Homo-oligomer: A and B are copies of this chain.
């Protein structure tokens, strides 16, 4: 059983006082399914109906050193220092806007609860490029091999041929662990793909889907974009991979409520049509959304994997995939994605503290995206009230503005959805260029970006569980794969 963090700071999530350190696994799972997203937004905690359902945990409280070994790798795609800190301060602002900013001891930001704190180098092994893409970095995390940008779980040999490399997920599967992949991005996107498929280019998403279903043996796959698995959405062949998965025994689900009812693996959950899941803020703001939050997916995955892994245990990748997309687009909504990530990290750490057996949680990023900074030229300020006032992402609002028929309508959309009363000059700008919504918000909030691509700084890296101290300091991203392999081997 892993030790609780040695820090005296309160564990548990601040947004969710009733769902703190004593949270049971069952509570985490069901609670997160219904409430993770809401809790991330500070709205509501666990469903009380489930909060009392602690029977499972009590029954399981006979573990110890002989219990299962679990390894959970949380990847915030694009989650650099500034992204984390933007989320930290928004959480602080929401906890107490009057006393904002709160001292580090007065707001629990969940990455701080890890036992070990350090950073990871992200550079690829690419003859042309020093800044990594998500394929090369996920390949480093999954296989322990640096590779070229675009590579999915393989390297090029001297003859230029693609050579697949075994991933930590595949090793775990072969050793009898239950294995799973959870992401808010497309299921076939580079990060999850690099753990359970092998292709020379990340663009081969139809092949990735095929390898998932036919070759990977992954017990739980939860993410977006079912079109890559269905005949209508596939350009290169008309394989119905959903039907194949079902024939192979997979439970297939497409909505949050179906996810909530899932009771066994193998399971395939594809919760959007052809792209990533929506940004957290849009999911929350849309009563008709059938998409689950990352916490719901991760919680259900753990429940299913725990049952399937038995005494052996499980390996699970959880990716907060849309931090990266928000950062590519220089959207301030990256802060809200970080709040969802924080909520999930908190619940993973609760689970690690609570579980029998030994659970390692490693939290890292593949790279930073956007060159984000808190503060930019001019006044020394960052306006968290503006960030807090946003009710939807720029991705949702821009199409509405493009369709707006009057200046007044644009003003009204921005006021209602973004919480800002535009100046006349800003309205002129918005009408003239049609889409600089993010620029106006960035300027108002006062956050800066240097890029719409990735950057090469080390990414903050954290770990909890046996041998977590390895992560105290600077490691290479390939070292993370090695550390996971050691845990799987019981070292």
Contacts and interface: CB of A to CB of B under 8 A. Distances in A.
A379 B82 CA distance: 22
Given A371-B450, A474-B112, A121 B104 contact: yes
A453 B377 contact: yes
A381 B149 CA distance: 12
Interface stretch (A197-205, A250-258, A339-347, A454-462): A454-462
A16 interface: no
B450 A380 contact: no
Nearest to A458: B85
Contact of A453 (B128, B380, B449): B380
A114 B473 CA distance: 8
Interface stretch (A27-35, A130-138, A240-248, A288-296): A130-138
A269 to B, nearest CB: 33
A378 interface: yes
B371 A373 contact: yes
A379 B112 contact: no
Given A133-B380, A381-B128, A371 B448 contact: yes
A196 interface: no
Contacts of A450: 371, 373, 375-377, 448-450
Given A123-B101, A130-B101, A479-B104, A373 B379 contact: no
With a 10 A CB-CB cut-off, give which of A109, A133, A452, A476 has the most chain B CB atoms.
Answer: A476
B374 A131 contact: yes
Contacts of A453: 375, 377-378, 380
A54 interface: no
A451 B117 CA distance: 28
A119 interface: yes
Contact of A448 (B105, B451, B460, B478): B451
Interface string A365-405: 00010010111111111101000000000000000000000
A378 B131 CA distance: 11
B379 A129 contact: yes
9 contacts: A81-B119, A81-B457, A85-B456, A89-B456, A103-B478, A104-B121, A373-B451, A373-B457, A374-B456
A103 B476 contact: yes
Interface string A107-132: 00101101111110101000011111
A375 B371 contact: yes
A374 B455 contact: yes
Contacts of A476: 103-105
B376 A104 contact: no
A375 B117 contact: no
A377 B478 CA distance: 26
A130 B100 CA distance: 10
